[in-house]
Each structure stands twice: as structure tokens, then as C-alpha cells.
């Protein structure tokens, strides 16, 4: 079997369609008699609903129905099921599909209005009259920890929903004998997500099967099915969930949302198809956000700059609900100790409820926060000791000869976490070479002539990828000789079709164009988890490989029987099984598939099982660890405080690459996300929990015009933990990027400048810092 | 994010436009729609009538007359930017327009729309104020001219009457070879500026300043001429200008603050940017020999 496609930067099979505007997104779905939904949403952060008066709104033109939670009483009731129950969360903290009595953040959905157009639904939503008893709100997680703070949920006795712990080793002992101990306080801003396509749902009842049929812009169609079935007390088979083309996910779309439930309930109630398309204003107040945290950390290190132990505490701003349980804060703890070989670690994290939009994993989840903490600490140690930043890292990183390396941490199932493979120091050395760090002083001087302060930043990371348990795949050859892959792994634009096709085409000896893919339809494949956590290449990619091998074996067995040739003398190429060295002695896959589809009254040849097809589930039992080292250069205008990233170099290792072009795209986009975190994106709320930045004029996303050229270099250390040697690549660009940019800005501001322990930073802040020098 | 219901009108002539404005209550004129449509979709405003003036050809175009260069209100920003007349006679305006939004928004957005909308950071009204441009306005009482000094009534508020519309702007170009400078700071390409500064200079043969206009925008609720500082420049030599008082004048304005930016930082920027604009004006001022 030759690797014609695996590892090749083939252009994406998806793109001709998507770039020509032929994508089919949720909003492209039109159904006869379809109603359009708009939600009445809270304009206040905390309050109790005394009454809802819909009478004026119902009388408005084009309005078909308006429902509140009370109207669904005969179908279902109570809060939504938690997606990821956690023993520390005694009672789940989830939304009701529509708020029942207490409303806990601006934007929470209170009623759903159905009309014959979205505009009319919005007109009517504005006419719904709410009688609200306003309650005090808390919008700052640190203040929320105070015993006298208002409660985000009025029935709770504390805003601290859970206290999570992690660590290993004898921290006290290591600190006691350390040469140096430093304490730093970090403040990491929450930020939003902002996939290009907002969320959206179209639901109807299929008249033929009676199934509640839902198309949703989601990363988790199977979770929507599972939890909706549980909530409605239906069989999963009575619910079909599809994700058509999805215009970006990045994490928030992995949640099962109140709006998905509310639309489904409305459809059951009104018996007509309903479409809801989230607009950008709603997205700012109803789609989960990133990862606001404050940390206080002590670090113990020796005179050489070797890091020995870390201890500390985190306040995690969870927002008003925990739809995804404690997954997000858990990723913070699980991301320690990064690339550092520590002797001891002792962490405590308070999950704090606030009257803000809930947070959940967004590209990297809390891994970027932890990369920021660790990399900032490394720079801090270097500064303290007056040694090179690189040296602290070289002396503290896990070495290549220590692989596989048990970090001391435990996985969710209690098993020890062990890094599978990699060379973290090697990656750092390579990135410093590529950016030409040795000649940086000359570039700094040249910038100074132009009145600019130039700085060099570095940051590394390790990223757990390939989260279990599985994504399955089936591979089938049609009687026309085409290969169809079905999988539960939904795509949000990552290029799954191309990557899966590359894997299967090599195994089956067919052309790339002969492979198509069916995903994201619960009716087409029985099981699925979610497209999250950089896991699809590892899980589904491996399953495609395994299933394709089963199909290959079956084709060979068939040919061996027909041609009366030993199986070992057969191979697949050109869409056929042929005798090695005699390409003309062959049977086409199409012929095998046609025969195995059966002929009336004829026995199956060799008594083989019908259908040239197979299904496989690769159980991803151990994480695979990708890693990277980044370096960048910034220029600061000391007069305006403007910061420009002028160079950005990535060295990344995600094991074997199925398609380097797709990997590069993931990394490049990821870096841009991180630059946004470092310099631009700021979701500002006032003390009452009112969001102040809910348009793209106020909430600054990074734009192409501000981005540097991002150079990417790869190392390829295959993972021993899956059949195709891959590690995930979806988040590795983001994880160290904010840390890298901030490191560069700090370097630009010079030895008298501040230690920067927060992001995003603003030009205004830079001017203040320089003023203080 | 859908606008509330409104009635759409599309006059073909100025007379029809005048009649509609007189007849309709709570009406809004639609020019390029780059400011108006977002406000309507966000339901910040809810006009009952929308009067689309895109089909009235007389409202667009750039002409040189004895009284100055007239730019029709409906002239697209992109056409102003690429106009030879503007580039050679009003280079400051072209220079400023490069900072207005993006190619896409300039292809729709109009100079008149910007000057009626009056965002405090908008470049076109700021340039108009620096030039003491004249705003040619039509209404039930016929056509009249409002000087720039009377046009800016406050935040997003022009001197335009309820039933009036802006027909054109008239700029009187400065002497050939005049100096011009423009500096603004925006977080990203095409964003509204956090603050900005403009300088225009004329000089005599010896390089002494004979005429000056200095302006800060995005700092107060309307563009602000630094009149005293302008006066102080007169008679100074261009190679040896005392820039500090100009910077100080901009730094002592009553700056706005918002969710992102303090008044102090905005004042600081106002100083930096007027300084840069003035230096650029000195550099572009051609010596008459
Ligand atoms: C992404 C983006 C970035 C932008 N960046 C900038 C920027 O950096 N700098 C900047 O200055 N602007 C910027 N803008 C705004 C843009 O320049 C608008 O085009 C301008 O503000 C309004 O012009 P318009 O022709 O689109 O007017 P409209 O949006 O159609 O109208 C604006 C207002 O003026 C009124 N009006 C329009 N024409 C007349 C008339 N002839 N008589 C009477 N009233 C009239 C309208 O009724 C309305 O109240 C940006 C816009 C966008 C969408």
C-alpha cells in the first residue's frame, strides 16, 4: 500500500463548492409553511419574571404563536440535562429551554415568537411586555467570591459552584528547599468566540417517520439528539439531527443550547417547521464565551533557572450556567505542567458563577491560559536571574530522552498522564533559528532608528489531543466503484472530507475524487461524540483507516477466491485488486461491490458476507500530545502605544500530517485567534452585567490587515498511540500565541518596563507603562 | 437585527425629493446606507419612511466653479478619492479618505452621508471644517449655504433642518503648493479613529507661515479647530516652527471617553497626532521661488 495521498498537501475537495457560494448552511434551508423565530431576551442581568404579557404582540401582523416555558408544560419541563455531569457539581446548573422564573444574564431567552418573517417576529418580540423584579447582579468573579456578594443564582448560598484541585509531589518540601520563590498575579480576560456563521436551527416533524427532524449549526449533532431525547423522554431513533455546512465552530457550538430545545418544543407545539437564525447581536449575549480567569501563582526555581514547582489558586469566571459541566475549568488544571518537568504542583480552582454569558471551551479551552501562565513565569524567572529566557526553558523542559514521560498528573479516569513523544527543546531551538534570534539585536537597533521599540517573544506549549472515547467510521464501496465514508464526526469547515478521503484512497487504491463522505446526520451513522478537543484526526481518522483496511481485506479475499491466487500476491491499485507485478490480472472494485450487492436467487460467492463495506470504531484510550514552539517580533510605537506583530514563526509537531496544507490552515487561524486574545478582543461588561461591546465596531476582532505573515515549520514525531501516527492540530496555533505576543511586547518595553501578567493589552496601557518608566 | 417596518420611496428628481421631505413625517434620507442601515437594523432608529436618493443624478459629481470645488452630496467616497481634481487641488481630502472604512464601504458610502451623520471621528466632516467648507442645503425655503462654523451642532447633529437635505459641499482650495498633513490613530485598518489631527499651511517666499488651519477630530463631540494655535503659527518660519504650543492646545481639549479609552489617553493622542500632522504639513509645503 503506497502513500499517494496521506501526507500530501492536496487541495481540499470541499473548496470548489464552498468558494463558489454553493455551501448549504442552516439558513439556506427553506421548508413549506415554515415560521421564523425570534427570541424575547433579557435586557437585564438578573431578575425574577413576575409575568409575561404577550397579548399585544400576538395581535401583530404575521404572528403565529408566542410561547413561554409555561406553554411547554404538557411536553416537558425543568432544566436541560447537563452535557457532562461532574461529581463536584451536586446539582447541574443548566438553562431551561426558556427562562422559567429567574433570569441570570443579559440575553437569556424568555419567550419564543413565531411569525411569517423574522422581521415580523422581531417586531412582535419588542411588543412582549415583561414584568420583572430586578435582582442585584454580580459581573466580576473575584467580587463574586466575597461572602456578601449578590448571588448569581438567588437560591444559592455561595457563588462558588465547585472547588477543583490538582497536583502531585510534595510541594511544601520543594518550595522549602528552593533557591528562589516568586509570586505573581495574572488576569486573563474572557473574550468571545465569533465563528463567521452564527448559530441557527431549522426543525420540523417528518410526516413519513414522525421523527422530530433538526438541522442545526452545531459541532455535536449526536449530543443534541441524546439530550433532547432524554429531555422529551423519546427514543433517540425518533429524533434526527443533521448539521449541514457549518461556518466555523471553534468550541461554543459543541454545547447543546436552550434555543435548540426551544425551537424543537415550539415545533412540537405548533406542528409547523420553524427556523431560527442567531444574529450577531444575539451571538454576543447568547453564545458561550471564552475563559476569564485570575491566578495567583508561586513558582520555585533554582539559581540556574530550572523550574521545580508551582502552587497557586485560580478564580474561574464561569458565567451564569454550566451547560458543559466543569469541562472548561478542568482543562485549565489538566494543561499543567505543559512542557515543564516539575517535581511538584499544587493547584486549586474556584468555579465562580456570575451574571454573565456562560463560558465553555473555545479553541484551546483553558490551555492558552495555562500556556500564558507557564511561559510568563519562565520569562519572569529569566528576568529575575538575569539569564536568557531560552535557558530557563532548556533547563526546565521535559527532554526528548525522557519520552514517554509521566507528568505526575492524572487523567479523568485516574490513569497517569504520560506524554507520548516529542522534542520540546528541539522545537524551541528550531524556532529561534528560523526567526534568526541571534541577529535580533540588529533588528531592534534598526527599529529604534525609525522611532519604534522592537521586541522578541517566545512561547512553547504541549497540547493533549485525541480525546476519547471514539468517533467511528464506515467505509463502503458502491457498485460504481466509488467509496463512501460515513462518520459521526461533523465538520465545521476543517476539511474532514479531504483528510478522510486521503486516508481511504491510499488503503483502497482509488483516486481521491472517488471518495465522498456522509457525516453529520444521525440517520446515516449510529453514534458520534463531538468535533472538539482536536480529536477528529486521531479518532475518526484512525477509524477510517481501520474500516478501509477491513474493506481492503474483504476485496482481497474476494479476488483471491475468484482469481485463485494467494491473498499475499494481491494488491489494490487503480480501483482494482490485481496480482502483484501483473496489473492486467485484476478484478475491479466496482465488480466486487456489484457482486457483493447480491443477485436474486444467486448465492454469495465463497459464501462471503454481502456488501463491500465495513465499520470500525477506534477506541482512543490514551491522549496524544502535540506541541509547539512559537517566536514573534512586535514593534511598539511609543507615542501612540500601537503594537504591531511584524513577524510570527511557528514550529509545530502534530505527529504525522495527513494534509500539511490543512494543518497549516489550522495553525495559521489558531495563531490569529491568539493574537486577537493578546491585543484586540475585549468583551467589556459594566458592574450590572450589561455588555458594552456588542458590535464589531466595539469588539475588535483581528483583521487580515493587522496580521503578520505567519511562517510555519513542522516536526513530525509520529504518535505511537493510534494506527496512523497522528496528533490533533486544531488548537495548537492558538495555545501559545497570546503568551508569545505578550512576551514580545514586554521585551520591546525593555528592562525598565513592566512584567506583563494580563491580556489583552491596549495601546492606552502601553502609553501609561512607558510614561511610568 | 431586522429593521422595523418602514415605507420605501425613491425620488428621481430633486423636486420629488423636496416634496417627499415636506410631506412625510419621521422620514430619513438613504444615501450610501453605511451608517444608516446598521442603525436601523440594530433598531437604534426606526424611521417610518426611507427616502432613497441614489437615483437622483444631479446630487452626485465633482465640478470646479468660480466659487470653488463643489462635490455633490451623493458622490461616493471612492469617486472623491480617485478624482484628479480632488487629488491635485484638495490633496488633504484624498489623504484623509484613505482612512475612511474599506474599499467596500467607500464604494457605497457618500461624502454627504458622512457629513450629515457626523460621527465625531469621521474624516470627511473634519476635512470640511479645516477648509471652512460651505454646505449647500435645499429645503422648502429654497437653497442656502451653511458655513462649516455653523454646521456642527453637536454629537451626530448637523444644522440641517427637518425638511432639508444636503445638496453639495463647496471647498475653496488653498494656494497651489500649500502644505497639508493628516494623522490619525485607529486600532485596525479602516476603523473609526480614536483621535486625529489635521494641518493646512500656506507660506511666503521666505518660508514664513501666512495662513494656517489646525484641527483635532475624534477628541470632542465635533471636529475642533485650534484657532489660537493657528494664529500663533503666523509669521513663524516653517523650518523652525514652535510645535509645542500646538500640541499643548490639542492636549487641553475636553476629550470624550468610552468603554475602551480614557479622556486622558485621547488627549495624549490628540497632541501626538496634531504634532505629526503639522510636521507633515511643513514637509509638504512647497517653497515658492
Ligand atoms: C465597516 C465600516 C467602517 C467605517 N469606517 C469609517 C471611517 O473610518 N471613517 C468614517 O468617517 N466613516 C466610516 N464609516 C461610515 C461610512 O463612511 C459611511 O458611509 C458614512 O458615515 C455615511 O455615509 P452614507 O452615504 O453611507 O450615508 P447613510 O448611511 O445613507 O446616511 C447617514 C445619515 O446621513 C443622512 N443623510 C445622508 N445623505 C444625506 C443628504 N444628502 N442630506 C441629508 N441627510 C443625509 C441619512 O439620513 C443618515 O441619517 C464606516 C462604515 C462601515 C460600515
Contacts of B190 in chain A (CB under 8 A): 703, 705
- Tell whether A189 lies on the interface with B, counting CB pairs under 8 A: no
Gap between the Cα atoms of B138 and A280, Å rounded: 38
B2 in contact with A, Cβ within 8 Å: yes
> What pLDDT does A474 receive?
98
CB A323 within 8 A of CB A95: yes
Above 80 in pLDDT, residue A268?
Answer: yes
Mean pLDDT of B134-140: 97
Q: How many CB atoms lie within 10 A of CB A562?
A: 15
Q: What pLDDT is stored for residue A91 in this prediction?
A: 87
Of the residues B26, B27, B30, B31, which should be mutated to test ligand 1's pocket, given the most ligand atoms within 8 Å of the CB? B31
Which residue from A291, A132, A302, A277 is spatially nearest to A198, judged by alpha carbons? A277
Distance A457 CA to ligand 1 centre (A): 41
Cross-chain Cβ contact A119/B259 below 8 Å = no
For residue A217, the number of C-alpha atoms closer than 13 Å in the C-beta half-sphere is: 30
Which pLDDT score is estimated for B289?
56
pLDDT of residue A772: 72
The mean pLDDT of chain B is 97
Total count of residues recorded for chain A: 773
- Which range is least confidently modeled, A404-413, A540-549, A589-598, B210-219? A404-413
| pLDDT for position B77 | 98
Closest-CA distance of chain A to residue B191, Å: 8
Distance from the alpha carbon of residue A692 to the mean position of ligand 1, in angstroms: 23
Query: What whole-number distance in Å separates Cα of residue A250 and Cα of residue B215?
Result: 45
Using DSSP's 3-state secondary structure scheme, residue A56 falls into helix
Residue B29 in contact with ligand 1 by CB distance below 6 A: yes
Say how far apart CA A429 and CA A435 lie, in whole Å: 10
Cα dihedral A500, A504, A507, A512 sign: negative
Q: Is A764 in contact with B5 (Cβ distance < 8 A)?
A: no
Q: What is the CATH number of domain A15-22+468-616?
A: 3.30.365.10
Range list of H helices, A203-338: 221-232, 258-270, 280-286, 327-334
Strands (E), A552-642: 570-573, 576-579, 582-588, 613-617, 624-636
For residues B199 and B276, what is the distance between their CA atoms, to the nearest angstrom? 9
Please report the pLDDT score of residue A1 as a whole number: 52
- What are the strands of the beta sheet with A643-653, ordered from one edge? A453-465, A624-636, A643-653, A710-715
Domain locations along chain B: 7-51, 59-171, 179-284
Among candidates B108, B95, B98, which has minimal Cα distance to B33? B108
Q: What per-residue confidence (pLDDT) applies to A492?
A: 94
Contacts of B231 (CB under 8 A, 6+ apart): none
Cβ A700–B187 below 8 Å, yes or no?
A: yes
Q: Is pLDDT at A743 greater than 80 in this prediction?
A: yes
Nearest chain A Cα distance for residue B268, angstroms: 8
CATH level 3 topology of B59-171? 3.30.465
B4 interfaces chain A, CB cutoff of 8 Å: yes
Mutation site for B-interface testing, chosen from A198, A283, A764, A772 by largest number of B Cβ within 10 Å: A764
Asked if A15-22+468-616 and A293-466+623-772 have one fold, the answer is yes
- Stretch 83-122 of chain B: residues touching chain A, C-beta under 8 Å: none
For chain B, give the longest Cα–Cα distance: 63
Residues 6+ positions from A126 with CB-CB distance below 8 Å: B4, B43
Angle ∠(A44,A49,A51) on CA atoms, nearest 5 = 125
Above pLDDT 90, what percent of chain A? 97
Q: How far is it, in rounded angstroms, from Cα A58 to Cα A54?
A: 6
- The DSSP string of B200-220 is EEEE-TTSBEEEEEEEEESSS
pLDDT tens readout for residues B234-277: 999 999 999 999 999 999 999 999 999 999 999 999 999 999 99
Identify the band that residue A2 occupies on the pLDDT scale cut at 50, 70 and 90. Answer: low
CB A648 within 8 A of CB A630: yes
- Name chain A contacts of B250, Cβ cutoff 8 Å: none
Distance A495 CA to ligand 1 centre (A): 39
What is the CB neighbour count within 10 angstroms for residue A389? 21
Using pLDDT thresholds of 50, 70 and 90, give the confidence band for residue A97.
very high
The pTM (predicted TM-score) of the whole model is 0.97
Peptide bond into A404 cis (omega under 30): yes
Q: What percent of chain A has pLDDT over 70?
A: 100
- Identify the DSSP state of B178: -
For residues A504-516, give the mean pLDDT.
97
Mean pLDDT of A586-600: 97
Q: Collapse the DSSP code of A507 into the 3-class scheme (helix H, G, I; strand E, B; otherwise coil) and give the result.
A: helix
Q: The domain A31-135+196-248+252-286 belongs to what CATH superfamily?
A: Aldehyde oxidase/xanthine dehydrogenase, a/b hammerhead (3.90.1170.50)
For residue A94, what are the β-bridge partners? none
If contacts are CB pairs under 8 Å, which of residues 335-354 in chain A contact chain B? none
Q: Name the CATH code of domain B7-51 (choices 2.170.190.11, 3.30.70.890, 3.30.70.330, 3.30.43.10).
A: 3.30.43.10
Indicate the average pLDDT of chain A: 97
Domain B179-284 superfamily per CATH: CO dehydrogenase flavoprotein, C-terminal domain (3.30.390.50)
Residue B138 has pLDDT above 80, yes or no: yes
- pLDDT at site B288: 64
Query: CB-based contact (8 Å) between B13 and chain A?
Result: no
Whether the CB of B118 sits within 6 Å of ligand 1 = no
Quick: pLDDT tens for A360-380: 999 999 999 999 999 999 999
Please tell me what DSSP assigns to residue B141.
T
Helix (H) / strand (E) element for B24: namely: none
Q: Contact at 8 Å (CB) between B170 and B68?
A: yes
Q: Is B42 on the interface with A (CB under 8 A)?
A: yes
Instruction: Check A684 against B259: CB less than 8 A apart.
Output: yes
Q: What are phi and psi of B71, to 5 degrees?
A: -115, 115
- What pLDDT was estimated at residue A773? 60
CB of B80 closer than 6 angstroms to any ligand 1 atom: no
* CA B119 / ligand 1 centre spacing (Å): 9
Residue nearest to atom 46 of ligand 1 (CA): B29
Question: Closest approach of chain B CAs to the CA of A646, in angstroms?
Answer: 14
Q: What is the ipTM of this complex?
A: 0.96
The pLDDT of residue A329 is 97
Cα B33 to middle of ligand 1, angstroms: 6
SS3 A619: coil
Domains of chain A, by residue range, sit at 15-22+468-616, 31-135+196-248+252-286, 293-466+623-772
User: Does A9 have pLDDT greater than 80?
Assistant: yes
Q: Which of residues 672-701 of A touch B (CB under 8 A)?
A: 680, 682, 684, 692-693, 695, 697-698, 700
The burial class, CB within 10 Å (0-12 / 13-18 / 19+), for A268 is middle
Choose which CATH entry (3.40.109.10, 3.30.565.40, 3.30.365.10, 3.90.1170.50) describes domain A293-466+623-772: 3.30.365.10
Pocket lining: B73 vs ligand 1, CB cutoff 6 Å: yes
Q: From residue A609, how far is each of A337, A558, A566, A616 by CA, in Å?
A: 50, 10, 20, 16
> Could you tell me if B4 and A123 are in contact, meaning their C-beta atoms sit under 8 angstroms apart?
yes
Q: Are A652 and A712 in contact (CB under 8 A)?
A: yes
Does the Cβ of B117 fall within 6 Å of ligand 1? yes
CA-nearest residue for atom 53, ligand 1, is B34
Using the mean position of ligand 1's atoms as its centre, give its distance from the Cα of residue B122 in Å: 9
Angle at B211 between CA B206 and CA B212, to 5 degrees: 120
Q: How far apart are CA A324 and CA A314, in angstroms?
A: 19
pLDDT of A269-320, one tens digit each?
A: 999 999 999 999 999 999 999 999 999 999 999 999 999 999 999 999 999 9
Nearest CA-CA partner of A214 in A280, A262, A283? A262
d(CA A432, CA B1): 48
CB contact residues (below 8 A), chain B span 122-181, against chain A: none
* pLDDT of A592 strictly over 60: yes
* Residues within 8 A of B (CB atoms), A 605-644 only: 639-642
Q: Could you give the residue ranges of the DSSP H alpha helices within A42-170? A: 55-58, 118-127, 141-144
Residues 218-277 of B with CB under 8 A from A: 259-262, 265, 268-269, 272-273
Q: Choose, out of A36, A189, A640, the residue to mutate when testing the contact with B (most B CBs < 10 Å).
A: A640
Nearest to B262 among A280, A702, A764 (CB): A764
Of B34, B6, B169, the closest CA to residue A123 belongs to B6
Which residues on A lie below 8 Å from B43 (Cβ)? Answer: 122, 126
Find the distance separating the first CA and the last CA of chain B, reported in whole Å: 60
- What is the whole-number distance in angstroms between the Cα of residue B34 and the centre of ligand 1? 5
* Cβ atoms of A626 and A424 closer than 8 Å: no
Does residue B156 surpass a pLDDT of 80?
yes
Determine the 3-state secondary structure of A712 from DSSP: strand
Q: What is the pLDDT of residue A414?
A: 84
Q: Distance, CA B20 to ligand 1 centroid (Å)?
A: 21
Ligand 1: atom nearest CA of B164 is: 43
Q: Which of A689, A679, A676, A699 is nearest to A141 (CA)?
A: A689
Instruction: Identify the DSSP state of B192.
Output: P
A116 touches chain B (CB under 8 A): no
Is A767 in Cβ contact with B265 (below 8 Å)?
A: yes
**Among residues A124, A112, A132, which one has the least CA distance to residue A43?**
A132
* A697–B265 C-beta distance less than 8 A: no
Q: Angle formed by the axes of helices A763-772 and A737-749, to 10°?
A: 30
Q: Are strands A582-588 and A576-579 parallel, antiparallel or unpaired?
A: antiparallel
* Ligand 1 contact via B216 beta carbon (within 6 Å): no
Q: How many whole angstroms from B109 Cα to the centroid of ligand 1?
A: 6
CA distances from A593 to A291, A600, A605, B189 (A): 51, 15, 12, 57
Per-residue 3-state assignment (H helix, E strand, C coil) for A65-87: EEEEHHHHCCCCCCCCCCCCCCC
Nearest to A764 among B38, B261, B273 (CB): B261
Peptide bond into A469 cis (omega under 30): yes
Who's near A597: CB < 8 A, 6+ residues apart? A479, A610, A611
Amino acid at each position: 500500500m503506497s502513500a499517494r495521498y496521506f501526507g500530501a498537501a492536496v487541495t481540499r475537495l470541499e473548496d470548489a463548492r464552498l468558494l463558489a457560494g454553493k455551501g448549504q448552511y442552516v439558513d439556506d434551508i427553506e421548508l413549506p409553511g415554515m415560521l421564523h423565530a425570534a427570541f424575547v431576551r433579557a435586557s437585564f442581568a438578573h431578575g425574577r419574571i413576575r409575568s409575561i404579557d404577550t397579548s399585544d404582540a400576538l395581535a401583530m401582523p404575521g404572528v403565529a404563536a408566542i410561547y413561554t416555558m409555561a406553554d411547554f408544560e404538557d411536553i416537558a419541563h425543568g432544566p436541560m440535562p447537563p452535557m457532562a455531569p461532574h461529581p463536584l457539581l451536586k446539582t447541574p446548573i443548566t438553562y431551561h429551554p426558556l427562562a422559567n422564573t429567574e433570569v441570570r444574564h443579559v440575553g437569556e431567552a424568555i419567550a419564543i415568537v413565531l411569525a411569517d418573517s423574522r422581521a415580523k417576529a422581531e417586531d412582535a418580540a419588542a411588543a412582549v411586555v415583561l414584568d420583572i423584579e430586578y435582582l442585584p447582579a454580580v459581573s466580576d468573579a473575584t467580587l463574586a467570591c466575597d461572602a456578601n456578594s449578590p448571588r448569581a443564582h438567588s437560591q444559592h448560598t455561595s457563588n462558588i459552584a465547585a472547588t477543583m484541585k490538582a497536583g502531585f509531589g510534595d510541594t511544601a518540601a520543594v518550595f522549602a528547599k528552593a533557591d528562589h520563590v516568586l509570586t505573581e498575579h495574572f488576569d486573563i480576560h474572557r473574550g468571545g468566540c465569533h465563528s463567521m456563521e452564527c448559530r441557527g436551527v431549522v426543525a420540523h416533524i417528518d410526516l413519513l417517520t414522525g421523527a422530530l427532524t433538526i438541522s442545526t449549526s452545531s459541532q455535536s449533532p449526536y449530543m443534541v439528539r441524546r439530550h433532547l431525547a432524554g429531555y422529551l423522554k423519546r427514543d433517540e431513533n425518533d429524533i434526527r439531527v443533521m448539521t449541514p455546512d457549518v461556518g466555523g465552530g471553534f468550541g461554543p457550538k459543541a454545547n447543546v443550547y436552550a434555543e435548540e430545545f426551544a425551537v424543537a418544543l415550539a415545533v412540537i407545539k405548533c406542528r409547523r417547521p420553524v427556523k431560527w437564525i442567531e444574529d450577531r447581536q444575539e451571538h454576543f449575549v447568547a453564545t458561550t464565551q471564552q475563559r476569564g480567569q485570575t491566578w495567583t501563582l508561586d513558582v520555585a526555581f533554582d539559581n540556574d533557572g530550572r523550574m521545580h514547582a508551582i502552587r497557586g489558586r485560580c478564580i474561574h469566571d464561569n458565567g451564569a450556567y454550566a451547560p458543559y459541566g466543569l469541562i472548561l475549568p478542568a482543562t485549565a488544571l489538566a494543561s499543567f505542567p505543559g512542557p515543564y518537568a516539575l517535581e511538584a504542583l499544587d493547584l486549586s480552582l474556584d468555579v465562580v458563577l456570575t451574571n454573565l454569558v456562560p463560558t465553555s471551551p473555545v479553541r484551546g479551552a483553558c490551555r492558552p491560559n495555562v500556556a500564558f501562565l507557564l511561559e510568563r513565569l519562565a520569562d519572569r524567572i529569566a528576568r529575575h536571574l538575569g539569564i536568557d529566557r531560552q535557558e530557563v526553558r532548556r533547563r526546565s523542559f521535559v527532554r526528548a530522552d525522557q519520552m514517554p514521560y509521566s507528568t505526575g498528573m492524572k487523567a479523568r479516569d485516574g490513569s497517569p498522564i504520560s506524554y507520548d513523544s516529542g522534542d520540546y527543546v528541539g522545537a524551541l531551538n528550531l524556532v529561534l533559528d528560523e526567526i534568526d534570534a541571534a541577529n535580533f539585536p540588529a533588528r531592534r537597533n534598526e527599529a529604534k532608528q525609525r522611532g519604534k521599540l522592537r521586541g522578541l517573544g517566545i512561547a512553547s506549549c504541549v497540547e493533549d489531543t485525541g480525546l476519547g472515547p471514539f468517533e467511528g467510521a464506515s467505509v463502503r464501496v458502491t457498485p460504481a466503484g466509488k467509496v463512501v465514508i460515513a462518520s459521526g464526526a461533523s465538520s465545521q469547515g476543517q476539511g474532514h472530507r479531504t483528510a478522510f478521503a486521503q486516508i481511504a484512497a491510499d488503503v483502497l487504491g482509488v483516486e481521491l475524487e472517488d471518495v465522498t463522505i456522509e457525516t453529520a446526520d444521525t440517520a446515516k451513522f449510529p453514534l458520534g461524540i463531538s468535533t472538539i478537543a482536536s480529536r477528529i484526526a486521531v479518532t475518526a481518522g484512525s477509524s477510517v483507516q481501520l474500516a478501509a483496511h477491513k474493506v481492503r481485506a474483504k476485496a482481497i479475499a474476494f479476488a483471491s477466491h475468484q482469481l485463485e491466487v494467494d491473498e499475499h500476491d494481491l494488491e489494490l491499485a487503480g480501483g482494482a485488486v490485481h496480482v502483484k507485478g501483473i496489473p492486467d490480472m485484476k478484478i475491479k472494485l466496482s465488480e466486487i461491490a456489484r457482486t457483493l450487492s447480491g443477485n436474486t436467487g444467486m448465492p454469495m460467492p465463497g459464501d462471503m458476507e454481502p456488501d463491500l463495506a465495513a465499520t470500525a470504531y477506534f477506541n482512543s484510550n490514551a491522549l496524544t500530545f502535540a506541541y509547539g514552539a512559537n517566536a514573534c517580533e512586535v514593534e511598539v510605537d511609543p507615542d501612540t502605544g500601537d503594537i504591531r506583530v511584524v513577524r510570527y514563526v511557528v514550529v509545530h509537531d502534530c505527529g504525522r500530517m495527513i494534509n500539511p496544507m490543512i494543518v497549516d490552515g489550522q495553525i495559521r487561524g489558531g495563531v490569529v485567534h491568539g493574537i486577537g486574545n493578546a491585543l484586540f478582543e475585549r468583551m467589556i461588561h459594566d458592574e450590572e452585567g450589561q455588555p458594552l461591546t456588542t458590535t464589531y465596531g466595539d469588539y475588535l476582532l483581528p483583521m487580515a490587515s493587522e496580521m503578520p505573515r505567519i511562517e510555519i515549520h513542522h516536526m513530525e514525531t509520529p504518535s505511537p498511540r493510534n494506527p496512523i501516527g497522528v496528533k490533533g492540530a486544531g488548537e495548537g496555533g492558538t495555545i501559545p500565541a497570546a503568551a508569545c505576543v505578550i512576551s514580545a511586547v514586554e521585551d520591546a518595553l525593555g528592562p525598565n518596563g513592566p512584567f506583563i501578567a494580563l491580556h489583552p493589552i491596549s495601546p492606552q496601557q502601553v502609553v501609561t507603562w512607558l510614561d511610568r518608566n | 437585527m431586522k429593521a422595523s417596518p418602514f415605507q420605501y420611496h425613491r425620488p428621481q428628481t430633486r423636486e420629488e425629493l423636496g416634496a417627499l421631505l415636506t410631506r412625510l413625517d419621521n422620514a430619513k434620507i438613504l444615501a450610501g446606507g453605511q451608517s444608516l442601515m446598521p442603525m436601523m437594523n440594530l433598531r437604534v432608529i426606526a424611521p417610518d419612511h426611507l427616502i432613497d436618493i441614489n437615483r437622483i443624478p444631479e446630487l452626485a459629481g465633482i465640478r470646479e466653479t468660480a466659487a470653488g470645488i463643489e462635490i455633490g452630496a451623493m458622490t461616493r467616497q471612492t469617486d472623491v478619492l480617485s478624482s484628479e481634481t480632488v487629488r491635485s487641488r484638495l490633496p488633504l481630502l484624498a489623504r484623509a479618505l484613505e482612512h475612511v472604512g474599506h474599499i467596500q464601504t467607500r464604494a457605497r458610502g457618500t461624502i454627504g452621508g458622512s457629513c450629515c451623520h457626523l460621527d465625531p471621528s469621521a474624516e470627511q466632516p473634519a476635512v470640511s471644517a479645516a477648509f471652512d467648507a460651505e454646505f449647500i442645503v435645499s429645503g422648502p425655503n429654497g437653497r442656502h449655504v451653511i458655513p462649516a462654523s455653523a454646521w456642527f451642532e453637536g454629537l451626530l447633529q448637523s444644522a440641517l433642518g427637518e425638511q432639508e437635505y444636503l445638496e453639495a459641499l463647496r471647498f475653496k482650495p488653498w494656494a497651489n503648493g500649500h502644505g497639508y498633513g493628516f494623522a490619525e490613530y485607529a486600532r485596525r485598518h479602516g476603523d473609526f479613529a480614536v483621535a486625529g489631527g489635521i494641518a493646512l499651511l500656506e507660506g511666503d517666499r521666505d518660508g514664513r507661515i501666512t495662513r494656517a488651519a489646525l484641527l483635532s477630530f475624534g477628541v470632542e463631540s465635533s471636529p475642533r479647530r485650534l484657532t489660537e494655535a493657528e494664529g500663533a503659527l503666523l509669521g513663524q518660519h516653517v523650518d523652525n516652527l514652535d510645535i509645542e504650543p500646538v500640541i499643548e492646545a490639542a492636549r487641553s481639549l475636553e476629550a470624550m471617553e468610552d468603554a475602551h479609552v480614557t479622556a486622558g489617553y485621547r488627549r495624549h493622542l490628540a497632541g501626538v497626532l496634531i504634532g505629526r500632522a503639522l510636521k507633515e504639513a511643513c514637509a509638504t509645503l512647497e517653497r515658492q521661488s
